[in-house]
Structure 1
């Protein structure tokens, strides 16, 4: 009989992974159009991980090993790419926060020129891609078996418990996570500094491109911060668990014993029951599922995103209710704006003249008799 808890975990992760992936489409398009290269790569990374989550939970739903597929092809690919994807996730968060700190340090009002944008993209690529690529190239040397399979979690990598595995797979994502913290502090500090000088100017010119860029930066910072706060501690916990497991069975690295040991063939595929898989391993896919929440929250509910939803619903011929709702909101907004005068047009009691039978009368500067303060 299937474990009810395992079945519930499978159903929930499948549903929310599919939902989050679909909802990431509009933020992905908007951020790609605005040239946010690192955030686009980050969303692609999250979507790929969620697709793997759905496939694994659907193909291996329970502990009935007699019905399991051996995973040939899919697991060969996934077992090699999962750790580099995890490192890419951490590297993107680091690059996003670093980029925000750099932008705020420059304090420029105009857009980047095309050569500057290309240079920024090159620098960001050199930050996020080299380490995952190196990990992918070294994966053959640290895997102790072809791969393993467990229910719901699906394809797993099987790794050698040596110092080399810790250096290649354990340290890089933890390093990126820790290195993000000072940039997060710098970004917060610089946001506070510039907000005092730019708030009035940005409020006065609501349609300026500088206001749009400022809002995008704020959303990026809020999105990254909402991910960093839970992610960095979790990443350190995962690193500690992996390090403890490795140290418990630590042995010198030996390539021959990994790939040419007749008693333990590398090509073997290992099947695990659900109770043999650690809680942290079984539930690690939830990190990418939960990551879709801040992505959608900060970039899937903007005016641009709402317009994209409206166009999509209009194509499906079900957008009439959306248009009616937006029209009502627009009328309410315009009425509110018309009924509120800007500060420059508000009556000033110290500049008003009251005409009486005795002639014009100017109230005293601090009088409350004629003007309620």
Structure 2
């Protein structure tokens, strides 16, 4: 149907970008894991995994709402809940760690300090999402829902208890991130010089990465806090299901509601909520790659990966030099390209027995007045005079009747030995250089005679 074409295109775009987000989010994983940046590592893990699960769900339930895999839906619905909270908590972990870096006097920590730091960051970044999964039992209305074109979805009735167990988390983490962001900026501006000296002694942290981490956490905070407040306002203005206990809430708990696309898309609020939830994970993945996929360390790893692939394929490794200069980080700057200068061959000065000029060319000047109306050279005109001073061994003989050049055998041998240019084909003593045979017939000039009086053919 024509009305369904925009939805089909949107489904295809969601599938493609979900896979792209899953891949791009994991590109910077290696260097963040090497630096034990647990906030970024957890952010990559939760965002990348949710984009991958979302990609699979969109393919399986692209054009149906059939309950193909109940256990799969049990897992993915809880994973989606945990991921939505983990993005907020990971941003808080990143900003909190940046605050501690801005306030320490040395960046060299002991093994015990590092272990405690990793445990704290892991508990904040992944502990709260896991807690959310455990508390999901108290707000879960039935097993799950299936939406055509989207897949499995958590079933959470709009109760007052769900506001505090689920809806309040983004507002809480957004507020805490904003608090740490303010403290971090203050400490950063106050101890900037000292912080630069500390970072100079650590290869896994520099100002560029520090500011990018701060930017990532700040952008997440800017979107998380207002959206969390907006969600609570919308839920509060919607019909509220009175929570009368778990027995009432879990009545017919094994039910699975299946919604065809034509049904849930007819509700603007449901369509906006479901689509925004999907694209929010894709946006977080693309945002993370935008901050860390084009940095200095990223380009260094791209170059290493490129060299490995080129070596395996047997290609020339210097193809990297053809890329823009900004992408060739980590390689030695290519020096100026050698300039090949070809010097002209200078013929030796003409000797007395040599009749050729240093240019090795015969210049003939023909006046336009020497051309007859039929385009041929007039016969009664004398050719231009040539030098008359020559040795006895070689001479020019110019006859008005035959226009003949005569050269002796001795002159030919001497020319072949001394001239740097190939000799003229004068082996035949009766060879005649006829200027008329070199003339190409052409019509009379169509310009006034006063414009140009002669033409030089070299």
Report the TM-score range of the alignment, normalised by the length of the smaller protein: 0.7 to 0.9
Query: Which residue in 1 is equivalent to 2:113?
Result: 116
> How many Å apart are 1:198 and its aligned residue?
5.5
The number of residues matched between the two structures is 321
The answer to whether structure 1 residue 321 and structure 2 residue 312 are counterparts is no
Check 1:39–1:328 CA distance in 2 against 1; reply closer, same or farther (3 A cut).
closer
RMSD between aligned residues: 2.8
Alignment partner, residue 153 of structure 1? 150
Tell me the residue number matched to 1:52: 53
* Structure 2 residue 223 is the aligned partner of structure 1 residue 230: yes
TM-score (norm 2): 0.63
Deviation at 1:176, TM superposition (A): 0.9
- Partner SS state of residue 149, structure 1: strand
Structure 1: runs of 5+ lacking an equivalent: 336-373
Which of 263, 282, 285 is the aligned partner of 1:289?
282
- 1:270 maps to which residue? 257
SS in 2 for 1:280: helix
Partner Cα separation in structure 2 for residue 333 and residue 291 of structure 1: 38
Q: What is the CA-CA distance between 1:270 and the residue it aligns to?
A: 0.6
Gaps of 5+ in 2: 337-458
> Which of these two proteins has the greater Rg computed from alpha carbons?
2
Query: Could you give the per-residue CA deviations for residues 125-167 of structure 1, whole angstroms, max 9, x where no partner exists?
Result: 2323333222212222321111101123211111233222222
Query: Which has the higher relative contact order, 1 or 2, with Cα contacts under 8 A spaced 6 or more apart?
Result: 1
Deviation of 1:47 (Å): 0.6
Q: How does 1:1-373 map to 2 (within 5 A)?
A: 1=1, 3-62=4-63, 64-65=64-65, 68-106=66-104, 108-195=105-192, 208-209=201-202, 212-245=205-238, 248-259=239-250, 261=251, 265-272=252-259, 273=261, 274-275=264-265, 276=267, 277-317=270-310, 320-325=318-323
Distance 2:173 2:293 in 1: 27
Deviations 1:74-119 (A, max 9, x none): 211112232122112111111211121122122x243222211111
- Structure with greater helix percent: 1
* C-alpha distance in 1 between matches for 2:335 and 2:34: 29
- For 1:283 and 1:129, how far apart are their aligned partners in 2? 23
Give the TM-score taking structure 1 as reference length.
Answer: 0.77
In 2, are the aligned partners of 1:21 and 1:292 still within 8 Å (CA)? yes
Distance change (3 Å), C-alpha of 1:238 and 1:320? farther
SS at match of 1:284: helix
